[in-house]
Amino acid sequence: MKKDEPPLDFPDTLEGFEYAFNEKGQLRHIKTGEPFVFNYREDLHRWNQKRYEALGEIITKYVYELLEKDCNLKKISIPEGYGVIVLNPNENYIEVEKPKIHVQSSSDSSDEPAEKRERKDKVSKETKKRRDFYEKYRNPQREKEMMQLYIRENGSPEEHAIYVWDHFIAQAAAENVFFVAHSYGGLAFVELMIQREADVKNKVTAVALTDSVHNVWHQEAGKTIREWMRENCCNWVSSSEPLDTSVESMLPDCPRVSAGTDRHELTSWKSFASIFKFFTEASEAKTSSLKPAVTRRSHRIKHEEL
């Protein structure tokens, strides 16, 4: 901490930060009406980052409430019985305070050997920690030494994607499943295809990637996967070109089109309407046994490249 850095004592409500969402769902400052500003204090990047994270935790809870209330979605804890809700699959761990080293009291009159007492004490602590730590989420306001405890079967985005597929999507009654995968999510989806190729092909109707960082060569995706992606996927990438303009690709997988923005974090939002049009076309094509428009576009791209 810098000598002149303010304490990390942040509010626990949006109003406390003097922010609110307007009628368009945009986060705006209550007094100035300005969008969120990261550099709230100049030359205090660490403090600004902690403030950003604290506000992010509040917004995350707010969004989950909207998903449950307005979209009628159900929030499920994973893995089963562990009581963990994965808020961000790119951070599949919980940070908890490191346990303090226990010093055996000299007044302990137990007849048990010291080694046995120490082993029992360790087991007891581990049991309590396993029971309690899942309720403790990252709190950037606390300046305590933390440790990362990875969530069982969900220790990485790739593991998380496979876990969700096996435990939820594969068992769902839905016949038409659609994926929207942003950034690293695209890499996780390709890994899911590698591990569950036949199941994914059977259940997934279309996949929309937004500025995906996947690489079919590095991930060693087979020919049949690459062919399926060419026919059923589209990647809306950051580009200064108008929305849906074809963008050249060096990889032999899905077509790439402009998301209508050169900002990575806005690609999903900017391509929102195009993605749902793509899904509608794919669903109709599946019903009528015709190929969706994006597939015809993929053949056009191949022809132009040749």
Which letter, b or e, does each residue of 58-77 get, where b requires 16 or more Cβ atoms within 10 Å of its Cβ? beeeeeeeeeeeeeeeeeee
Residue 169 lies in a domain: yes
What is the separation, in whole angstroms, between the first and last Cα of the chain?
57
Residue 1 lies in a domain: no
Check residue 112 and give its pLDDT: 63
Give whole-number Cα distances, 258 to 170, 173, 211, 247, in Å.
31, 34, 9, 6
Residue 106 lies in a domain: no
Kindly state the DSSP code that residue 95 receives in the 8-state scheme: E
Which residues does residue 256 pair with via DSSP β-bridges, in sequence order?
A: 235, 247
Count of all residues that appear for the chain in the document: 306
Residue 293 lies in a domain: no
Give the pair of three-digit tokens for residue 58.
């509040």
Give the model confidence (pLDDT) of 90-129 as tens digits: 444 445 444 554 444 444 445 667 766 666 565 555 545 5
Check residue 76 and give its pLDDT: 79
Note the pTM of the prediction, 2 decimals: 0.65
Last residue of a domain, one of 33, 50, 71: 71
Give the model confidence (pLDDT) of 18-66 as tens digits: 999 999 888 999 999 999 888 788 778 888 888 888 999 999 899 989 9
How confident is residue 299, by pLDDT bands cut at 50, 70 and 90? very low
**Could you tell me the residue range of the domain that residue 168 belongs to?**
157-287
Residue 171 lies in a domain: yes
Check residue 187 and give its pLDDT: 95
**pLDDT cut 70: percent of the chain above it:** 70
Last residue of a domain, one of 26, 44, 71: 71
Torsion sign, CA atoms 217, 219, 220, 226: negative
On whether both 282 and 173 belong to a single domain, the answer is yes
How confident is residue 152, by pLDDT bands cut at 50, 70 and 90? confident
Name the residue with higher pLDDT: 108 or 165: 165
Check residue 225 and give its pLDDT: 95
Q: Structurally, how many domains does the chain consist of?
A: 2
Residue 270 lies in a domain: yes
Last residue of a domain, one of 51, 71, 91: 71
223, with CB counted inside 10 A (0-12, 13-18, 19+), is: exposed
- The neighbour count for residue 86, using CB atoms within 10 Å, is 19
Check residue 151 and give its pLDDT: 75
Mean pLDDT of 168-188: 92
Mean pLDDT of 259-285: 95
Give the model confidence (pLDDT) of 208-245 as tens digits: 999 999 999 899 999 999 999 999 999 999 999 999 99
Beta carbons of 250 and 222 less than 8 angstroms apart: no
Residue 99 lies in a domain: no
| The pLDDT of residue 248 is above 50 | yes
On whether both 65 and 177 belong to a single domain, the answer is no
Mean pLDDT of 286-293: 67
On whether both 164 and 277 belong to a single domain, the answer is yes
Catalytic residue IDs: 183
How confident is residue 154, by pLDDT bands cut at 50, 70 and 90? confident
Check residue 47 and give its pLDDT: 87
Backbone angles phi, psi at 23, to 5 degrees: -65, -20
